[in-house]
A and B are shown apart, each in its own frame.
Chain A
């Protein structure tokens, strides 16, 4: 086999191996079959050539439709053309499932992001308010309350105000 292909352009061997093993255990649940190392290479190389072949065909179909970007439909048509039409149905199902999951993720993520943004806005507006008050305090009482300043900065919203009141009274 001619191999002028770098690893980056090959399919991961472990995954190909796993696919082959899974299929073999399906074909022969009672007996274990071994796979020679050369056979694994043959499977990986065959799959790579399959991708090339399917890509080139799908690309031709895409060009015929005068589009720049190859899409899933081009790939389905290509599969029919290279006589792998039996793949089309399970692939459509797989794609539909992926689209569904993606839509759910996006929906969920969008809601989460909105909630996060709201929280951030609330937090930052509250902090801004308390920060400006704390800064004034710090500039007035630098010498006396160095430790106190640190504590103030570490604290949250309402407590700063409470302490200010205490100090003023003192």
Chain B
């Protein structure tokens, strides 16, 4: 939390500053992604942290684009779901949104 406070200025200015997301947490999530993920180099979580930031920003932007079509100023989870459905890039999230969206337009991707 303190990290966010310290570095938020750098994020707003658009500089590629130090990581915001806690590396230890990211490592935990990575290790949970599969039993086989055991050894991770010191730099990998840093790349993940930044990748995650970029991902969240991308998803935010696309969700916002749905929100403004609806002429409201509140971004809802349905907007996020619509953005996921509308973007091929976010197909890996279809499982997540299929529960919140009324009816998925795309079939679930095969595993």
Interface residues of A (CB under 8 A from B): 1-2, 8-12, 14-16, 18-20, 22-25, 27-28, 31-36, 38-39, 41-43, 45-56, 58-59, 63, 68-72, 74-76, 79, 82-84, 87, 90-91, 93-95, 97-99, 101
Contact = CB atoms under 8 A, between A and B. Distances in A.
Per DSSP, are chain A's interface residues mostly helix, strand or loop, or mixed? helix
Contact of A19 (B11, B47, B93): B11
B56 A84 contact: no
A99 B84 CA distance: 34
A36 B96 contact: no
A1 to B, nearest CB: 6
A18 B20 CA distance: 10
B16 A97 contact: yes
A12 B25 contact: yes
Interface in B9-35: 11-12, 16, 18-22, 25-26, 28-30, 32-34
Given A27-B64, A56-B37, A51 B29 contact: yes
A101 to B, nearest CB: 8
30 contacts: A1-B96, A10-B25, A12-B4, A14-B1, A20-B60, A22-B8, A23-B57, A34-B74, A35-B74, A36-B77, A42-B77, A42-B80, A42-B96, A43-B80, A46-B80, A46-B93, A55-B34, A70-B44, A71-B43, A72-B43, A72-B46, A72-B47, A75-B51, A84-B51, A87-B54, A87-B55, A94-B46, A95-B46, A95-B50, A98-B19
B103 interface: no
B102 to A, nearest CB: 15
A118 B43 CA distance: 33
Interface residues of B, number: 64
B33 A56 contact: yes
Contacts of A70: 37, 39-41, 44
B36 A59 contact: yes
B85 interface: no
Given A18-B8, A19-B20, A91 B74 contact: no
A104 B92 CA distance: 39
A23 B28 CA distance: 26
Nearest to B40: A70
Given A24-B60, A38-B76, A56-B33, A47 B40 contact: no
Contacts of B56: 16, 19-20, 23, 43, 46-47
A47 B8 CA distance: 19
